[in-house]
């Protein structure tokens, strides 16, 4: 093309992009329209510019992976139009400055995407994803994602690396905190709610941002819960357990996918053609884009499947990965690889087309500074309204695990309370890990919450009990936990004795869970066990408040302490919410999205395991499937959570006890609030397929409904069961419903179950 014509053509396409987008009837012509624009733009691009779109660099403001490359070099690359996206650049000022480099200097003026880990809030912190999943409130989860998107978008960010929908069954794996727990169905519906919240009705909305389904796939299955480890998983388990949330998100139109660091059966996910191209793009028809994880392209050579970074780039792109995160391998080698015929230019065009389409959808071609508005940044972040939502989310995420003799809610007769424990006045841990732009130490601590909410005539005494974390409270620094100095326990015991009631706040520091935070022991770290036992001995009238990012081994406490409240890392308003639950101003309604084991050695531990050929009938039966030293059953099972009121479940009524293709049956049950307070209950539907072409789990969650009941009130809950409900990935490697007997359970947890048989006939 003659060089004088090129600038005119570029101008024409960019102007066409702006004018048309504003005036067109979006719903009718949108996708086709994007395609025409993208195709025309790609025709103008040099190979170097195309490759540039596939490069994503960290701005270095936040380091969410090992050390970044030279920032000076990156700046020049942006000016040359050779960087498609940045991550970890936040604030209007910094995003604008970075975007300007591309828009004002590069030949084609293609705007960059700005990605960030907005995992459970941007500055207003909501409960950890695992905690929030305990609310089983999908509407709430959508609303918190919407607010997170609004805050992030106001600070220049247009893409979040969330939701993580890795099924997480091993509590030793620190990233369990970022998931919705151990169950496939729960992860699927939570993932969809989160996606709806982030992406809104349209990506073109100024308050919406692109979401990302991660980590594709099976990252949660790393051996022994050890971060970045290898994964061994059979094909049936992969399809039945791990893939469904990803498939649902792909079908629902999530803008992006991220692959994974892990190696599955010898093939690192970033190198997996089977996963990225055959399954996701071809079989599922996904037309969004796939970003690698941080440096995972280069890591292919560390894994030992690529000879060098050039080979790594070749393998990753040919496998279907579209953008390399914090990866210079694409920038350095892709052009040569195409010229040498090792990567087809059509593959590059496909990747670039996916990336540019997202930029069009977000409206970045209309206005590259669309997310850079100082007014919105000033008004839309950390607002009173957002903090109110953080409070609501914290309340609803709390799970009452145990409440012997109705110790809770704290009686009005109690006049003196000891608040003890290293987490009791911790203003940092409730913010959790992956805290984006939350200000450190900005959470309301439990001590602050109680001081504000308790009647003034109550004598509240606080003591930390033990020094816990000594240093290292940061994303990537090792935590140093005190294991020797127990000098403070004595004083705490004295206070425990002096008061009528003790509240013991223990658990995990924010940075004990999250990326890179695998542990072999999921019990209480440091000197907490010593503290717990000493305090309990001094005053058995003790309530334990747990703050943590993973299910823990709390078996001693579960046996001995009369009341236990699971308060996770609940975000900005944690202390107020916990205080209101303890004082009975809010009736807890959360249910566990993960099982609590008897001991770390049982991990991975989950309710929906297989029956095996020798199921354990009585605890400690030898020559059965069990550990000899602990019972098989959970200390607190999946789905468990108490209320200050009680619920009675009636008998299950089935509309008919068999159905065939195209038909459905309805299961109904009456639930009555038999206590004296208004309360909410999560009514859960499980099924068991008794005989299958492959072994089937002993239980599988299939649906749930959260209902609110006044004292004495009865409500009927009904669930529909059809062919889709009972389909699974069968021996034929297809999703099929097999004929035969199934059992249906409706219950308040995966443990207390009423059941009915039903049949599917072909
Ligand atoms: C690595 C993590 O695995 C991924 O989830 C995250 O989005 C990126 N780093 C970016 O911080």
What CATH number labels 647-761?
A: 2.60.40.10
Q: Which atom of ligand 1 is nearest to the CA of 115?
A: 10
Residues involved in catalysis = 293
Q: Kindly tell me if the per-residue pLDDT of 17 is higher than 90.
A: no
Instruction: Pick the more confident residue, 72 or 409.
Output: 409
Q: What is the pLDDT of residue 621?
A: 84
631 pLDDT higher than 90: yes
Q: In a mutational test of the pocket of ligand 1, which residue from 57, 65, 174, 514 has the highest number of ligand atoms less than 8 Å from its CB?
A: 65
| Fold for the domain defined by 383-602 | Rossmann fold (3.40.50)
Measured in whole angstroms, the distance separating CA 318 from the mean position of its chain's CA atoms is 29
Q: What atom in ligand 1 is closest to the CA of residue 261?
A: 3
In degrees rounded to 5, what are phi and psi of residue 175?
A: -80, 5
* pLDDT at residue 63, as a whole number: 61
User: How many other C-beta atoms lie within 10 A of the C-beta of residue 293?
Assistant: 26
d(CA 256, ligand 1 centre) in Å: 14
Look at 3-17, 19-33, 563-577, 744-758 and tell me which has the smallest mean pLDDT. Answer: 3-17
pLDDT, tens only, 497-524: 999 999 999 999 999 999 999 999 999 9
Calculate Rg over the CA atoms of the chain: 27
Q: Which pLDDT value is given to residue 61?
A: 58
pLDDT at 367 over 90: yes
Over range 622-636, report the average pLDDT: 95
Residue 15 has pLDDT above 80, yes or no: no
Whether pLDDT at 319 is above 80: yes
Assess whether the C-beta atom of 214 lies below 6 angstroms from ligand 1. Answer: yes
pLDDT per position as a tens digit, 27-81: 546 788 899 999 999 999 999 999 999 999 998 656 667 766 677 778 999 999 9
Among residues 221, 214, 227, which one has the least CA distance to residue 178? 214
Mapped onto helix, strand or coil, the DSSP state of residue 647 is strand
- Residues 443 and 441: their CA atoms lie apart, in Å, by 6
Mean pLDDT of the chain: 95
Instruction: Give the length of the chain.
Output: 762
Q: What spacing in Å lies between the alpha carbon of 326 and ligand 1's midpoint?
A: 10
Give 454-461 contacts, CB < 8 A, sequence gap 24+.
Answer: 454/417, 454/579, 454/583, 457/415, 458/414, 458/415, 458/416, 458/417, 459/415, 459/416, 459/417, 459/499, 460/416, 460/417, 460/419, 461/416, 461/417, 461/418, 461/419, 461/495, 461/498, 461/499
Domain locations along the chain: 1-44, 53-110, 383-602, 647-761
| Cis peptide bond prior to 42, omega within 30° of 0 | no
Strand partners, 412: none
């Amino acid at each position: 093309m003659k060089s004088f014509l090129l600038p005119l053509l570029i101008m024409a396409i960019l102007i066409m992009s702006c004018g048309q987008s504003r005036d067109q009837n979006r719903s009718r012509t949108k996708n086709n329209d994007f395609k025409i624009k993208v195709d025309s733009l790609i025709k103008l691009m040099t190979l170097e510019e195309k490759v540039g779109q596939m490069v994503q660099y960290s701005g270095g403001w936040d380091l969410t992976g090992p050390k970044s490359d030279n920032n000076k070099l990156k700046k020049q690359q942006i000016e040359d139009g050779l960087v498609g996206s940045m991550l970890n650049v936040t604030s209007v000022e910094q995003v604008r400055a970075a975007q300007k480099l591309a828009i004002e200097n590069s030949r084609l003026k293609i705007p960059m995407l700005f990605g960030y880990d907005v995992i459970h809030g941007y500055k207003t912190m909501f409960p950890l994803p695992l905690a929030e999943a305990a609310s089983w409130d999908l509407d709430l989860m959508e609303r918190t994602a919407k607010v997170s998107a609004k805050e992030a978008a106001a600070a220049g960010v247009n893409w979040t690396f969330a939701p993580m929908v890795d099924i997480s069954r091993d509590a030793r794996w620190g990233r369990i905190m970022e998931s919705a727990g151990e169950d496939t169905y729960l992860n699927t519906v939570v993932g969809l709610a989160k996606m709806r919240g982030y992406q809104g009705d349209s990506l073109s909305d100024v308050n919406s941002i692109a979401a990302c389904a991660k980590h594709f796939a099976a990252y949660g299955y790393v051996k022994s819960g050890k971060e970045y480890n290898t994964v061994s998983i059979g094909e049936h388990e992969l399809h039945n357990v791990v893939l469904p949330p990803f498939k649902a998100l792909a079908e629902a139109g999530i803008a992006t996918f991220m692959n994974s660091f892990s190696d599955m059966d010898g093939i690192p996910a970033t190198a997996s053609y089977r996963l990225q191209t055959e399954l996701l793009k071809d079989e599922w028809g996904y037309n969004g884009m796939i970003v690698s994880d941080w440096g995972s392209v280069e890591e292919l050579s560390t894994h030992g499947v690529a000879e060098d970074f050039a080979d790594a780039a070749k393998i990753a792109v040919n496998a279907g990965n579209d953008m390399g995160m914090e990866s210079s391998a694409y920038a350095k080698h892709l052009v040569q690889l195409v010229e040498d015929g090792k990567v087809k230019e059509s593959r590059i065009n496909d990747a670039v087309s996916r990336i540019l389409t997202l930029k069009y959808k977000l409206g970045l071609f209309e206005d590259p500074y669309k997310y850079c508005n100082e007014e919105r940044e000033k008004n839309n972040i950390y607002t009173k309204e957002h903090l109110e939502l953080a409070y609501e989310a914290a309340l609803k995420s709390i799970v009452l695990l145990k409440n012997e003799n109705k110790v809770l809610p704290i009686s009005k007769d109690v006049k003196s309370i000891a608040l003890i424990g290293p987490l009791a006045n911790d203003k940092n841990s409730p913010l959790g890990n992956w805290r984006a732009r939350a200000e450190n130490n900005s959470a309301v601590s439990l001590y602050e919450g109680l001081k504000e909410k308790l009647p003034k005539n109550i004598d509240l005494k606080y003591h930390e009990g033990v020094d816990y974390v000594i240093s290292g409270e940061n994303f990537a620094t090792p935590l140093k936990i005190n294991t020797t100095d127990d000098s403070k326990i004595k004083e705490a015991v004295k206070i425990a004795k002096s008061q009528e009631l003790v509240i013991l706040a223990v658990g995990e520091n924010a940075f004990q869970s999250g990326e890179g935070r695998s542990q072999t022991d999921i019990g209480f770290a440091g000197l907490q066990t010593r503290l717990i036992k000493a305090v309990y001995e001094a005053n058995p009238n003790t309530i334990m408040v747990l703050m943590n990012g993973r299910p823990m081994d709390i078996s001693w406490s579960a046996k001995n302490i009369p009341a236990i409240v699971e308060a996770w890392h609940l975000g900005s308003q944690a202390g107020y919410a916990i205080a209101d639950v303890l004082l009975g101003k809010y009736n807890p309604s959360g249910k566990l999205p993960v099982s609590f084991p008897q001991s770390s050695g049982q991990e991975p531990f989950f309710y929906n395991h297989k029956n095996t050929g020798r199921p354990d009938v009585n605890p400690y039966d030898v020559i059965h499937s069990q550990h000899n030293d602990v019972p098989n059953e959970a200390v607190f099972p999946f789905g468990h959570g108490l209320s200050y009121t009680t619920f009675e479940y009636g008998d299950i009524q089935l509309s008919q006890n068999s159905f065939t293709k195209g038909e459905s049956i309805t299961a109904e049950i009456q639930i009555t609030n038999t206590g004296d307070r208004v309360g909410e209950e999560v009514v859960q539907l499980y099924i068991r397929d008794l005989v299958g072409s492959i072994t089937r789990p002993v239980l599988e969650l299939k649906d749930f409904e959260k209902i609110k009941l006044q004292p004495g009130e009865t409500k009927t809950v009904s669930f529909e069961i059809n062919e889709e409900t009972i389909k699974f990935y069968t021996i034929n490697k297809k999703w099929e419903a097999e004929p035969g007997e199934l059992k249906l359970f409706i219950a308040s947890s995966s443990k207390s179950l009423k059941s009915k048989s039903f049949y599917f006939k072909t």
